[in-house]
C-alpha cells in the first residue's frame, strides 16, 4: 500500500455506518419496525401459496380427474392468500418509502444545520463545492438506495429464511443441500461488493470536484468570457469528467457482476433441488406435491437472493455517500461558549477595543505576529495595506470567525474568546465588499439586520443608505422578489441593500470592508455622508484600498506581511515618509 493510500473500510465500520444511518429515523423509527412486520407477513403469505398448490397436485395425483372438487376445496383460500400478499406488499412499500424519506429528510436537515455551525476555517478548507456535493449529491444517492432498498432488503431476508425453513421441514436433504450452497452465493456477492465500495467512494469524491467546477463556472461566467477561458474550463471539466467516467464505469461494472453471479449459483441450486427432489420422489421420501412445492420454493428462493445482491451492490454506493455526509456531520464545530461566557452590557459594547501581542496562523507557519493597537470608543480606525497582508483576517479575529493563537484581543477589558458569541456578533455590524443577498423580498433582505423591524423602519434605513430611490423603481417596490443572490440587481444595488441592513441594526461597532467599492462616485459621496452620521459615537473599522477615503480616520493601521508596520493619523504617516507614504504616493502619482 502506498503511503498516500487510505486504509480500506472494514465490515465493522460499514455496519456502524448503516446503524447510524438508520438512527436518523428518529421518532419515525416505528415505520422501520412496521416494515419488518409487514415483510414477515408478506413472506408468510408467499410461503403458503406453493404449499396450497402442492396439496392440489397431490390430490390430482391420487384421485385423477375425479378429484376436481377436492382440488377446488384445497385451493379455495388461494385467491385470498394472493390478495393478502399483494396488500401486505403494497403496505410494505408505502411504509418503507415513508421511513426512507424521513431518514433522508433528517439527514439533510442535520447536514444543513451543521453547515451553519461550521467554523469559517472548515468552510475555507473544504470548499463550497465539496460541501454542497455532500449536502445535495450524496444525500440524493442515499435517497435512491433507501427508498427502494429497504423494501427489497426486508422482503428478501424474510423470504430467504422462511423458504429455507420450509424446505428443511419438507425435505431435510434438499434443505441441507440448499443451505450448504447458499454461502457460496453470499461469499461471491460479498467479494464483488467489497471492491465496488472503493470505486463508489472514489466516484463520490470526483463528483464533488465536478460540483465545485460547475459552481465556479456559474459564479465566474462573466470573468470566463472576459478572459476567453471557456476552452480552459471545458478542458478542466472534461478531464474530471473522464476520470469520473472511468471510476463510475468500474463501480457499475463490478456492481453489475453481483446479480449474474448470484443468478448462476441460484440456478445451480435449482438444478440440485430438481435432481435431489426427483430422486427423493422415486425413493418415496416425498410425494409429488411436495416435489412441486420444493421446486417452487427453490425458484422463489432464488429471487430474493437476486434482489438482495442488487441491494448490496447499491448499498455500496449509499454507504460511500453516507460516510461523506457523516464526515461533514463529524467536522468540529465552532468552539461553543463557556457556561460562564461574558455577555456584553450596552455600555461595554461601546467600550475600548485593544490588541496586545496578537498572533494567528492558518498553518504551522505563523502569519500574524505581535499585533498591538487600541481603538478608543467612537474612533474611526482604518486598516490599510497590500493584498494578503492580513486586513480581513484581523476583522475575522475580532468577530471570532477565527480563533487567535496567542496574545489578547479585548472589548472593554474582556477577551473576545471569553465573550458570549451572540453578544459579540450582535454588537458588530459588517458591510463587506462581497455582498450576500438571500432569496426573498427586498424588505426581507433589509430586515436581516433587524428581523423585528417594521416597514417604516425598513424604509427609513433604505432612505439613509440612498437605496430607497432604486427600490421604488422596482416592480413591487419593497415587496419585489429578487431571487437567489439578487441576480436582477446590479452590484451597486446589492451593496446598497447590505448597507441598509447596518443602517437598520445600528450596532455599536461597525466594520466596513470596502463597503462602497461597487457604488458610483456620486452615490458614494452620499453614502459617506450617511456613514459619517452613522459612525458618530460608534467605533468603526474601515478596511480600505483607496487611501483617499480614510484620510480623516482617527488612526490608520498600516499592515504588511501580517504585522502592523506603522500606525498613526494620515498626516503623521505622510510626514514619517514610511510604507504608508509610499502606498499613498503610488496611488496618486
pLDDT digits (tens, 9 = 90+) for 461-476: 888 888 888 899 988 8
Query: Minimum mean pLDDT among 266-270, 428-432, 439-443: which range?
Result: 266-270
Which residues contact residue 496 at a Cβ distance below 8 angstroms, ignoring those fewer than 6 apart?
465, 466, 467, 470, 519, 523, 527
Q: Please check whether residue 333 is in contact with residue 113, taking contact to mean a CB–CB distance below 8 angstroms.
A: no
Taking residues 241-258, report their average pLDDT. 78
How many CB atoms neighbour CB 546 within 10 A?
Answer: 12
Taking residues 540-569, report their average pLDDT. 87
Taking residues 261-287, report their average pLDDT. 79
- CA–CA dist 308, 193 (Å, integer): 12
Q: Within 13 Å of residue 583, how many CA atoms lie on the same side as its CB? A: 23
Taking residues 100-106, report their average pLDDT. 87
- SS3 call for 543: strand
pLDDT at 5: 43
Residue 415: enclosing H or E segment and its boundaries? strand 414-415
The cell for 283 is 425413493
Query: Minimum mean pLDDT among 9-13, 38-42, 284-288, 363-367: which range?
Result: 9-13
Matching residue, cell 501580517: 562
How many CB atoms neighbour CB 313 within 10 A?
Answer: 24
Is the pTM higher than 0.75? The answer reads no
Query: Minimum mean pLDDT among 22-31, 51-60, 384-393: which range?
Result: 51-60
| Res. 1 pLDDT band, cuts 50 70 90 | very low
- Domain annotation for the chain: domains and CATH numbers: 22-329 (1.20.1560.10), 336-377+385-427+551-589 (3.40.50.300), 438-506 (3.40.50.300)
Residue 150 Cα to chain centre, angstroms: 22
Q: Please check whether residue 451 is in contact with residue 486, taking contact to mean a CB–CB distance below 8 angstroms.
A: no
| Res. 222 pLDDT band, cuts 50 70 90 | low
Residue 564 Cα to chain centre, angstroms: 39
Q: Please check whether residue 512 is in contact with residue 531, taking contact to mean a CB–CB distance below 8 angstroms.
A: yes
pLDDT beyond 70 at 67: no
Which residues contact residue 492 at a Cβ distance below 8 angstroms, ignoring those fewer than 6 apart?
518, 519, 520, 523
Q: Which of 218, 200, 243, 199 is nearest to 129 (CA)?
A: 218
Answer with the residue of higher pLDDT: 435 or 354: 354
pLDDT beyond 60 at 4: no
Query: Minimum mean pLDDT among 139-143, 241-245, 300-304, 544-548: which range?
Result: 300-304
pLDDT beyond 60 at 487: yes
- Give residue-wise pLDDT tens across range 72-98: 776 777 888 888 888 988 998 888 888
Q: Please check whether residue 114 is in contact with residue 284, taking contact to mean a CB–CB distance below 8 angstroms.
A: no
- CA–CA dist 544, 515 (Å, integer): 9
How many CB atoms neighbour CB 514 within 10 A?
Answer: 19
- CA–CA dist 316, 306 (Å, integer): 16
| Res. 242 pLDDT band, cuts 50 70 90 | confident
First-residue to last-residue Cα distance in the chain: 60
Q: Please check whether residue 445 is in contact with residue 482, taking contact to mean a CB–CB distance below 8 angstroms.
A: yes
Matching residue, cell 423585528: 452
Which residues contact residue 89 at a Cβ distance below 8 angstroms, ignoring those fewer than 6 apart?
42, 155
Q: Please check whether residue 477 is in contact with residue 442, taking contact to mean a CB–CB distance below 8 angstroms.
A: yes
Average pLDDT, the chain: 81
Matching residue, cell 390430490: 59
pLDDT beyond 70 at 268: yes
Would you state the torsion angle of the CA atoms of residues 353, 355, 361, 366, taken in this order, to the nearest 10 degrees?
A: 160
pLDDT beyond 60 at 298: yes
| Res. 290 pLDDT band, cuts 50 70 90 | confident
pLDDT beyond 50 at 527: yes
pLDDT beyond 80 at 557: yes
pLDDT at 63: 66
Q: Please check whether residue 207 is in contact with residue 139, taking contact to mean a CB–CB distance below 8 angstroms.
A: no
Matching residue, cell 416435489: 291
pLDDT at 2: 37
pLDDT exceeding 90 applies to what percent of the chain? 6
pLDDT at 62: 67
Answer with the residue of higher pLDDT: 62 or 18: 18
pLDDT beyond 70 at 193: no
- SS3 call for 100: helix
pLDDT beyond 70 at 309: no
- SS3 call for 271: helix
| Res. 486 pLDDT band, cuts 50 70 90 | low
pLDDT exceeding 70 applies to what percent of the chain? 89
- CA–CA dist 294, 279 (Å, integer): 13
pLDDT beyond 70 at 318: yes
| Res. 455 pLDDT band, cuts 50 70 90 | very high
| Res. 3 pLDDT band, cuts 50 70 90 | very low
Q: Within 13 Å of residue 405, how many CA atoms lie on the same side as its CB? A: 14
- SS3 call for 101: helix
pLDDT at 20: 86
- SS3 call for 331: coil
- CA–CA dist 585, 579 (Å, integer): 10
pLDDT beyond 60 at 589: no
pLDDT at 451: 86
pLDDT beyond 70 at 49: yes
Taking residues 387-392, report their average pLDDT. 84
Query: Minimum mean pLDDT among 419-428, 512-521, 543-552: which range?
Result: 512-521
Amino acid at each position: 500500500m502506498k503511503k498516500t493510500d487510505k486504509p480500506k473500510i472494514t465490515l465493522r465500520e460499514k455496519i456502524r455506518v448503516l446503524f447510524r444511518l438508520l438512527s436518523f429515523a428518529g421518532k419515525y423509527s416505528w415505520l422501520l419496525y412496521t416494515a419488518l412486520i409487514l415483510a414477515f407477513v408478506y413472506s408468510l403469505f408467499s410461503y403458503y401459496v406453493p404449499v396450497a398448490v402442492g396439496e392440489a397436485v397431490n390430490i390430482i395425483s391420487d384421485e385423477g380427474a375425479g378429484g376436481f372438487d377436492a382440488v377446488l376445496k384445497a385451493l379455495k383460500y388461494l385467491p385470498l392468500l394472493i390478495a393478502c400478499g399483494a396488500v401486505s406488499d403494497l403496505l410494505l412499500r408505502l411504509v418503507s418509502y415513508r421511513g426512507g424519506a424521513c431518514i433522508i429528510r433528517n439527514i439533510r436537515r442535520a447536514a444543513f444545520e451543521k453547515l451553519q455551525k461550521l467554523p469559517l476555517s472548515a468552510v475555507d478548507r473544504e470548499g463550497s463545492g465539496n460541501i454542497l456535493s455532500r449536502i445535495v449529491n450524496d444525500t440524493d444517492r442515499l435517497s435512491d438506495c433507501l427508498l427502494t432498498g429497504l423494501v427489497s432488503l426486508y422482503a428478501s431476508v424474510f423470504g430467504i429464511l422462511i423458504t429455507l425453513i420450509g424446505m428443511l421441514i419438507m425435505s431435510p436433504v434438499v434443505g441441507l443441500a440448499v443451505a450448504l450452497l447458499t454461502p457460496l452465493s453470499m461469499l461471491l456477492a460479498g467479494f464483488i461488493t467489497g471492491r465496488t465500495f472503493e470505486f463508489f467512494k472514489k466516484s463520490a469524491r470526483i463528483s464533488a470536484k465536478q460540483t465545485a467546477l460547475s459552481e465556479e463556472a456559474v459564479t465566474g461566467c462573466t470573468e470566463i468570457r472576459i478572459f476567453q477561458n471557456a476552452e480552459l474550463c471545458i478542458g478542466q471539466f472534461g478531464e474530471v469528467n473522464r476520470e469520473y467516467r472511468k471510476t463510475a464505469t468500474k463501480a457499475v461494472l463490478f456492481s453489475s457482476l453481483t446479480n449474474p453471479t448470484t443468478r448462476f449459483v441460484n440456478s445451480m441450486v435449482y438444478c440440485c433441488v430438481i435432481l435431489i427432489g426427483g430422486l427423493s420422489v422415486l425413493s418415496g421420501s416425498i410425494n409429488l406435491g411436495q416435489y412441486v412445492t420444493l421446486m417452487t420454493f427453490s425458484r422463489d428462493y432464488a429471487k430474493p437472493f437476486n434482489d438482495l445482491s442488487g441491494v448490496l451492490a447499491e448499498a455500496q454506493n449509499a454507504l460511500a455517500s453516507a460516510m461523506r455526509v457523516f464526515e461533514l456531520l463529524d467536522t468540529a464545530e465552532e468552539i461553543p461558549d463557556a457556561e460562564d461566557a461574558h455577555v456584553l452590557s450596552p455600555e461595554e459594547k461601546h467600550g475600548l477595543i485593544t490588541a496586545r501581542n496578537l498572533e494567528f496562523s492558518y498553518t504551522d507557519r505563523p502569519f500574524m505576529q505581535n499585533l498591538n493597537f487600541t481603538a478608543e470608543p467612537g474612533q474611526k480606525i482604518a486598516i490599510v495595506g497590500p493584498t494578503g497582508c492580513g486586513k480581513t483576517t484581523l476583522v475575522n479575529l475580532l468577530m471570532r470567525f477565527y480563533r487567535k493563537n496567542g496574545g489578547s484581543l479585548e472589548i472593554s477589558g474582556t477577551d473576545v474568546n471569553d465573550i458570549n458569541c451572540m453578544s459579540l456578533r450582535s454588537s458588530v455590524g459588517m458591510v463587506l465588499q462581497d455582498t450576500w443577498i438571500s432569496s426573498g423580498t427586498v424588505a426581507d433582505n433589509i430586515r436581516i439586520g433587524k428581523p423585528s423591524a417594521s416597514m417604516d423602519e425598513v424604509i427609513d434605513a433604505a432612505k439613509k443608505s440612498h437605496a430607497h430611490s432604486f427600490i421604488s423603481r422596482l416592480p413591487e417596490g419593497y415587496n419585489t422578489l429578487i431571487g437567489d443572490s439578487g441576480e436582477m440587481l446590479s452590484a451597486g444595488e446589492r451593496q446598497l441593500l447590505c448597507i441598509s441592513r447596518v443602517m437598520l441594526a445600528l450596532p455599536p461597532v461597525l466594520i466596513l470592508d470596502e463597503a462602497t467599492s461597487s457604488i458610483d462616485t456620486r452615490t458614494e459621496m452620499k453614502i459617506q455622508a450617511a456613514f459619517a452620521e452613522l459612525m458618530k459615537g460608534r467605533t468603526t473599522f474601515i478596511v480600505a484600498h483607496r487611501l483617499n477615503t480614510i484620510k480623516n480616520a482617527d488612526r490608520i493601521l498600516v499592515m504588511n506581511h501580517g504585522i502592523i508596520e506603522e500606525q498613526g493619523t494620515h498626516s503623521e504617516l505622510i510626514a514619517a515618509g514610511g510604507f504608508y507614504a509610499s502606498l499613498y504616493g503610488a496611488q496618486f502619482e
